[in-house]
Amino acid sequence: MIIKKIVPLLTLLLVGAGCTKKESLPENSKPETQSTVNKTNKGSENKITPGLYSLDYPSLVSNDPIKKIDLVINEIDYELDGKTFKRWVYTDKNNTPYYAGMPLILNKGQQATINVTNNTSADTNIHWHGLALPNDQDGPGLLIKKNGGTFTYNFTPDYTGTYWYHSHNRPVRDQVDNGMYGPLVILDDTDKTYTNDQLLVLDDWVVNNEEGHMQVEGDVDTVNGLTGQDIEPITVTNGDKTKLRLVQAATAKSTTLYFPEEVLITHTDGMPLEKPVYTKEITLAPGERYDVEMILSGKQDKTLEIKNDRDQGFSIPINYRYDAKQKNVPTFTKSTTTPKEIKTGDKDLTKPDIFVEMDSQMSSNGHEWTINREVFPDTESFDLKKDKPYVIRFKNNNHMSNHPMHIHGAHFKVLSEDGVPLTDAIWKDTIDVSPNGYTDILIQFDRVGEWMLHCHILDHEDGGMMTTINVA
C-alpha cells in the first residue's frame, strides 16, 4: 500500500515506524528546461543566493530584542525556460532578486518590525501564513497601496518553525501566482545542531501551456525559482545533519517528492511531530510545509536526486562527499518546541461543533466553489469564543478535487480522518481533505478578531470557497 500523505501515514501506524513502501520513480529524462540567474547576486549581504536558500546562522541571526527588516515588493525580469516574464517579488532594500522571495529569519520571542514598501502597480497586503498574530497585523484587513505605498508590521512570535508569507489581496491567486511570496523561519534552539539547513520553496509556473481544468496549473516546476539543471545542488558529507524546510507555494497543484534515501519528517506546518516518521516520499498540498532531517552515510562519493511525480524540470541534486576525518555519526535531535495543548475536559471530540462542507456548482456567474452551498462573501460565518475548544469537521463533497483548507490565526490538532482517530498528535494550519473524504480537527483561538477560513487552491478561494471565523 502506497501512503503519500502524513496524516493517514500516522493514522494507520504502518509497520516499520511509518515507513512507506518503496515506489519506483517516474522515468524522467534529463530535464531540458532551464532558468537564467544573475550569478553576480551570489554573496549578498545575507549570504543567500537566489537559487540556494542556505541558512547561514552567523550572518542571519540577530540577538537584538527588536529585528528591523526592510521588505520591498519590486517588479523584476524573471527568466524561465528561455522566456522572460515580469514578476512581483519580495526583495531586500538593495533589490536583491530572491526568486522565491526574501527569507525572513527570526528568533522565538524576538520582536519583528517589518517595513514594507510596495513598488508594484497593484494594491496588496501580506498574510503571515501559519502565525498566530494580533488581528490588525495580518492579512486581508490591511492594504498597502500601489506605487510606493508603505506599511510597518510589528509582531513577536512566541513559537518556532517553518512558515511563509504571501499576498492575500483578492484575487489572491493573481498576486501569489505572480511571485508574491517568501519563506519565514522562526528558529528553535536545536536548529543550531544542524550543519546544513536548506529552505526549498516549491512552485510551478505557466511558461508554455496552462494546465488544470478547474484551476490554473503551471507546466514548469521550480525549486527556489529555478528549474532543471539550474536547480542548485545540496552538498553534504557523512558528518552533516541536514534539515530540509519544504514550502509548497504552488497555487493549485499538489506535489509528491521522492527521496533517494529515507528521511525523517520532524515537523508539519511548523509544529513538531509527537513521533517523527521515516519515509521516502511526501505529498505537499498548496500551503503546506514539512521539515525533514536527512543524514547520509557511505565511504564513497555519490550523486543523488530528490525527484517529484512529474517530468516538468524538478530535480534537486544532492552531492554526497565522504570525509574520512568525520568520526561522529549525527543523530536526531528532538525539538524543544511543543504545541500548546488544548484542554477539553469531558467534551465529546467525536461530535463536531461546526460543519464545513466544500463543493462546487454552476451558476450564471460560471463555475463556483462553495462552503455549505454558499459562495463568499455570502458564505456562513462562524462566531466562536476566545479560549474555548471547538471541533470542526471539513467534509469534501466534491468527487474530483482535493481541498487543502487553511485557517488563519491558530494551529489546530488533527483528530481523525474519514472517521479513523489519530493515535499521535499532529498539529497543522492547512489540512488537505481528499475527494469525498472528511477530517475532524480541534481548534482553540487565543486571539480575538476576524480570521479567514478558505481553500488554499487559490482559484477555489477566489471562486468562493472562503468564509470567516469571528472570535470574541
403 Cβ contact partners less than 8 Å away, ≥ 6 residues apart: 358, 394, 396, 432, 433, 455, 457, 460, 465
Phi, psi at residue 103, to the nearest 5°? -70, 135
The fourth-level CATH superfamily of domain 1-335 is Cupredoxins -  blue copper proteins (2.60.40.420)
103 and 182 Cβ atoms separated by less than 8 Å: yes
Burial grade of 61 (CB within 10 A; 0-12, 13-18, 19 or more):
middle
What cell numbers appear for 29 in the block?
Answer: 529524462
Q: How many degrees, rounded to 5, is the angle at CA 361 between CA 356 and CA 363? A: 130
453 and 466 Cβ atoms separated by less than 8 Å: yes
207 and 193 Cβ atoms separated by less than 8 Å: no
Name the strand (E) or helix (H) holding 333.
none
What cell numbers appear for 59 in the block?
Answer: 550572518
Q: Given CA atoms 197, 281, 34, 174 in this order, what sign does their dihedral have?
A: negative
CB atoms within 10 A of CB 19: 15
- Quote the CA–CA distance of 454 and 184 in Å, as a whole number: 21
Question: Which among 292, 200, 307 is positioned nearest to 243, based on CA atoms?
Answer: 292
Asked whether residue 30 carries a pLDDT value surpassing 50, the answer given is: no
458 and 371 Cβ atoms separated by less than 8 Å: no
Tell me if domain 1-335 and domain 354-471 are identical in fold: yes
Q: How confident is the model at residue 365 (pLDDT cuts 50, 70, 90)?
A: confident
The one-letter amino acid at 470: N
Phi, psi at residue 144, to the nearest 5°? -105, 115
Name the strand (E) or helix (H) holding 176.
helix 172-177
Asked whether residue 50 carries a pLDDT value surpassing 60, the answer given is: no
The one-letter amino acid at 299: K
* pLDDT tens, position by position, 254-301: 999 999 999 999 999 999 999 899 999 999 999 999 999 999 999 999
Asked whether residue 35 carries a pLDDT value surpassing 70, the answer given is: no
Predicted pLDDT of residue 58: 63
Phi, psi at residue 193, to the nearest 5°? -75, -15
Average pLDDT along the chain: 87
The one-letter amino acid at 16: G
Please state whether beta strands 149-155 and 161-166 pair in parallel, antiparallel, or not at all (unpaired): unpaired
- Quote the CA–CA distance of 247 and 244 in Å, as a whole number: 10
- Quote the CA–CA distance of 278 and 283 in Å, as a whole number: 14
The fourth-level CATH superfamily of domain 354-471 is Cupredoxins -  blue copper proteins (2.60.40.420)
What SS3 class is residue 331? coil
Residue with cell 512529474: 310
441 and 405 Cβ atoms separated by less than 8 Å: no
* pLDDT tens, position by position, 90-131: 999 888 878 899 999 999 999 999 999 999 999 999 999 999
Asked whether residue 51 carries a pLDDT value surpassing 80, the answer given is: no
Domain boundaries, the chain: 1-335, 354-471
